[in-house]
Structure 1
């Protein structure tokens, strides 16, 4: 493990925020527990685990406690900068036996939590060697994670595939591949979709693949690990390769209105009312005779908007589904996107990523 003096002291409320992603219904003791292992405080829900250095304000402890109740109390502590931990013995009201309890106080408020001294949870050993990740790595994996499959029936497709030069994902109908700013030598691993979103929000500086898990280190020094999913990710190269017979064209992402040119971002914002739950918001784009139709729907409603494209090919006719986050990135670039089209596929390319989707040709 890394020496403690190399790390910045973390406050107790911030510590609980760092380990909260590791709470859940799976993992050691059901996943809702917070574990103390001397110099370390950690959580693990079976899908992701978080390890943080113990701050000096918490005494050296060995055991486990209900992490969700502890986090709930600390997030509402009347004096968050003055929180005290004390392990003591207390008589159980039912069994009348004395057992260890963790008393946590803040001002006049306190919470007593049953302490599991002989916890079966065992903190995994972290890797000995770390690799620095390229700039923009966390953003890239979060970006392509929107294209991962959300159903566990195809477990490999619920992951982001990390390689030496790029990260990629696919839901079986669409593929997205994002280049890395620098090569990441010796790395070929999978990151579950939800973990990729977590890493995007926390920001990571280092990666360390192991035989059974992949580890990450954040800017705050928190270590995050997730078990590897068995199997090899499908080779997407033959699928993402363009056809020599494909029709090439540029697609503008500005639209014309009576009041002048407007940003397509406004239309996407209006479609966002259908975003929610576990499913990604996907947008259906229908291009026909220089006009674009944007559609979004769920089980209770549908949004549709028709707009005129600026300088769009008038002979272009297609219907394609793209995830809102990827379309929004195209819009924010405010430039034409190079595209290629066959009878059943469409490619979009920017200077950082490329996207492939199955398409439909609308009826004339």
Structure 2
């Protein structure tokens, strides 16, 4: 099974794009990753440091790997997601998480590809979809699916910034494709739009400032400087992806599994704030959102409520002051202070007297530093 047949089979299985590169050649991606970790830009994602040695090169994880078949699956949205940010009483879930978990769909198809390839060639294969210490984006660039833009995500001439990636490593030596050169030019749209200025320089991300990291990976209270810039983003952030000029060539995904479920396309903040654990699991069944858990999610919703400017949400914020989860209570304090500062000040003394969590107490004290 040669390179042409492998690419053709991948497309038959429903992938939008498939390209091939050597997996055993030297590359600079590993050095860039080491700098990223050394600078602390990975934040609390300790697993990146723990798996750094294996993550720096494909052969560090599997010494027999010779070739990488890199596949892409288009998840382009039907409409630009940026206007949703103006609907402040609604929550914005990142495009990729508005329906089914892409890991499941990509891995199922990759396994079909790997099984057929192994049967035809007799060569060993392994498949990866964003859950193992493998750098898919540098491999995708090397294989020619696109290039890593200044926002560090892959950009494709055909699909813009909307490609899910998967990789099949194999010990077979396949004819590689040519890498895709960088076409960003002088454009800085993705850097300029970032609400939290998470890019210290082009092509470098400080995850600690990224709203996707803050809403998904970060545990506990969201640092004060990032709350207002978060707006109504309650899971992830699409700004740097959505603004990319190459999206003008993108197409709406043909995968119905990626089309937004009605309840996740502009869900009302008041309804989301009322979710208990069982309700959260029901709403986000088979969704990537489910992985962060109810407490972290409602914490994000509280920040969105604080940014809503909607006085009708004051009772929702005040009700969350009694939530069992301390991060939710802490962000509810902040939300109430944004929407109804006089009310927040009026209840502060009684609330502080009955609060044991230090983070929550710190939020109350921020309303009246003398206490």
Q: Same fold (TM over 0.5)?
A: no
Bigger fraction of residues in strand: 1
Choose 1 or 2 for highest CA Rg.
1
Bigger fraction of residues in helix: 2
TM-score when normalising by structure 1: 0.27
TM-score when normalising by structure 2: 0.26
